[in-house]
Amino acid sequence: MIGPPIRRGRLAGIRRVFAPIGEARGLPRWVLWAGIAITVLFVLLAFLAPLVSPYDFDQYRLADGSRFTKQAPPSSDHLFGTNVMSTDVLSRVIYGSRTALSVVVIAVVFSMSIGVPLGLVSGYFGGKLDRILLLFMDALFAFPYLLLAIVIAFLLSETIGRGVMTAAIAISVVYVPQYFRVVRNHVISVREEPFVEAARAMGARPRTIIGRYVFFNVVQNVPVIATLNAADAILTLAALGFLGYGIQPTEAAEWGYDIQRAIADAGAGIWWTGLWPGVAIVLLVTGLTLVGEGLNDVLNPVLRRRRTEPVVFPEGPETPQESGLPEEPLNR
Amino acid sequence: MARQTTSLRKYALTRLALALPIVLLLLTMVFLLMRVAPGDPISAALGGRLPAEELERRREAAGYDRPLVVQYVEYLGDVATGDFGTTVSDNRPVMNLIAQNGAATLELTLTAMVLAVLVGVGVGLVSGRFRDTPLDFGGRLFGIVIYAAPIFFLGFLGQLIFGKYLGWLPTSGRASPVVSFELDTPTNLFVLDAIIAGDWSALGDILRHLILPATTLGLVIGGVFTRLVRVNVLQTLQGDYVEAARARGLPERNVVFRHAFKNALVPVVTVMGLQFALLLSGAVLTEQTFNWPGLGSELIRYLDNRDYIAVQGIITFVALVVVAISVLIDFVNAWVDPRVRY
């Protein structure tokens, strides 16, 4: 690192962090764009749900009062069939993306806005505060995340009901320790850098140092963790829904809940009620994971590769990598 | 040699001493969480079913009218003496519940872990050895997709294919009703119990019930292992000693098996232990999917009944196991790698 990294305000710093995305080449680029394509598809579905969905997520009869058949196999009226609640599976899958994405966005924002500042402060000041926070976060991290989320969702549902907020808070508790740890560890190494030392010598207040000098050197990792956490959070939300501690079925369509209702169908050979919500989860989680992995390859300076690097591996047959560059192990 | 043993013992003692504050912290968190819940345990579980005076009487008998600090100290004391309380809804000692349902969870998770190691190490080694070939690509894709699939969705597909269409495997419970009725269960580990009883047809039945749940859970955990093993193989294959072995003219097969794989697997062992939280979370979902009467499904059942004491007992137990496992991993780590125990 040469000289103070930030000179032209905050926006320049953020632009600097994301600049390598355009420069990505080879497999990382492919992975990143495939992930982005899948994710964008679901974002579009979420926003346009009322337009593209054939029915409402809780609609079980037509406007003329005739009810949908229960557990009807796929047909032209119901492309993905209907489920045990007589609702249209396709509509619930589409509306489900809305639920999943809104919960996950809130959860990631929550856990980031708690984990990142705590990590900054804990890492920068060190001492007793750091030790206590570290102990607390480690305890949270070691605990089986799902049990934690269930208990918190249960307690919250007693007070504020089972909605998007309850699920989001329960999920964010699970991910706070991850942001905390990554940011804290990074701050500890950055804190000793000459430019921080210089700022301190010039009499800058801790606030300024953290905000201007430490933050932008540490924040690179956050987008990667955020997308990978988002992928994981989709699974946690579905797990909560599956166990009956997610979102109330009358409030929104949720994939995990739908699969729970579908488990009983498996014995009767009814596959369409569980298959489609499951496929939706797998696709969205894969998409977000690919974005995260791609970002990691692209943003992480240790793993980053550019086209100019003249490394060619002679051995080995055709590879999925276009550029023939070796890909670094993901050391996470 | 003698010096080494003392330092290992010293390390072990320090590590154990460090575990105490974590245990205390976890227990405090559990206690506070369960007391944040609206209402006391008695009225939460039985409210509406008993007259108000009776509720009041039971609250006093259980000591929930005393100050929180007193209850907290009592809770810590109980846990220290191995008393996890008695459930409110069905008046069952939690310790009993842990012995019975915990054994079911243990049976499931152990089998799943064995499968996960087989799958993870197998696919990971092949993937890392044949880096950037279609084999590797397939291995990595397996890792990503299996990670993206919720356990209960895999379970659903398994039940559909192997339970319904092929009719090969049962999809629910630990054994057929007849078997679970007739079999003596001193250990509560049904596989072991059947072997002790020498009842081979029962063993077959029990194993058939175990296959789907354990494979489902094992595949998911194995997906995570695949990635870990692959990364480690890649790193060791770049090591100087591997290069040196090649330079000495050893056949590639020997280089890979004798020199690279062994070293690649050492760090993986400890990282696998860290997946315990994942394993337990997965077990809750697997149990719920396959009606497996383990701790996870009991926890959900007691939550549904708002039995705070049962929930508190189970969570406390899990917290203790979590700390125990992490201490154990560190011991293994220190034993394998002397650098850890400076």
Q: Please check whether residue A3 touches B, CB under 8 A.
A: no
Q: Please check whether residue B322 touches A, CB under 8 A.
A: yes
Q: Please check whether residue B235 touches A, CB under 8 A.
A: yes
CA distance A1 to A16: 13
Q: Say whether B153 and A274 touch across the interface (CB within 8 A).
A: yes
Residues of B in contact with A316 (CB under 8 A): 131-133
Q: Tokens for A114, please give them.
A: 């708690």
CA distance B30 to B38: 15
Q: What is the pLDDT of residue A16?
A: 64
Q: Please check whether residue B69 touches A, CB under 8 A.
A: no
Q: Please check whether residue B289 touches A, CB under 8 A.
A: yes
Provide the 8-state DSSP code for A242.
H
Residue A7, pLDDT above cutoff 60: no
Q: What is the pLDDT of residue B184?
A: 77
Provide the 8-state DSSP code for B50.
B
Query: Which comes out higher in pLDDT, residue A283 or A265?
Result: A283
Neighbouring CB atoms inside 10 A of B177's CB total 8
Rounded to a whole number of angstroms, the distance from the CA of A229 to the nearest CA of chain B is 12
Which pLDDT band, with edges at 50, 70 and 90, does A102 fall under?
A: very high
CA distance A51 to A191: 51
How does pLDDT run across B100-141, given as a tens digit for each residue?
899 899 999 999 999 998 998 889 888 888 877 888 888 888
Residue A238, pLDDT above cutoff 70: yes
Residue B251 burial class via C-beta count within 10 angstroms: exposed 0-12, middle 13-18, buried 19 and up: exposed
Q: In this complex, which of B152, B288, B319 lies closest to A143 when CB atoms are compared?
A: B319
Rank A246-260, A276-290, B51-65, B273-287 by mean pLDDT and report only the highest. A276-290
Residues of B in contact with A144 (CB under 8 A): 276-278, 280-281, 284, 318, 322
Which residue of chain B is at minimal alpha-carbon distance from A262? B156
Residue A322, pLDDT above cutoff 50: no
Q: What is the pLDDT of residue A14?
A: 62
Q: What DSSP line would sit under A67-131, residue for residue?
A: BPPTTPPP-SSSTT-B-TTS-BHHHHHHHHHHHHHHHHHHHHHHHHHHHHHHHHHHHHH-HHHHH
Q: Please check whether residue B220 touches A, CB under 8 A.
A: no
Give CA A273 to chain center in angstroms: 26
How does pLDDT run across B294-314, given as a tens digit for each residue?
999 999 998 888 888 888 889
Q: Say whether A145 and B164 touch across the interface (CB within 8 A).
A: no
Residues of B in contact with A139 (CB under 8 A): 22, 25-26, 29
Which pLDDT band, with edges at 50, 70 and 90, does A26 fall under?
A: low
Q: What is the pLDDT of residue A318?
A: 47
Q: Say whether A274 and B155 touch across the interface (CB within 8 A).
A: no
Q: Say whether A286 and B144 touch across the interface (CB within 8 A).
A: yes
ipTM field: 0.85
List of E strands, chain B: none
Q: What is the pLDDT of residue A239?
A: 93
Residue B264, pLDDT above cutoff 80: no
- Sign of the four-CA dihedral A107, A135, A239, A228: positive
Give the count of Cβ contacts less than 8 A between chain A and B: 156
Residue A320, pLDDT above cutoff 50: no
Which pLDDT band, with edges at 50, 70 and 90, does A114 fall under?
A: very high
Q: 3-state secondary structure string, A41-66?
A: HHHHHHHCHHHHCCCCCCCCECCCCC
Q: Tell me the C-alpha to C-alpha distance, in Å, between residue A107 and each of A102, A112, A168, B93, B314.
A: 8, 8, 5, 37, 27
What percent of chain B is predicted at pLDDT more than 90?
A: 14
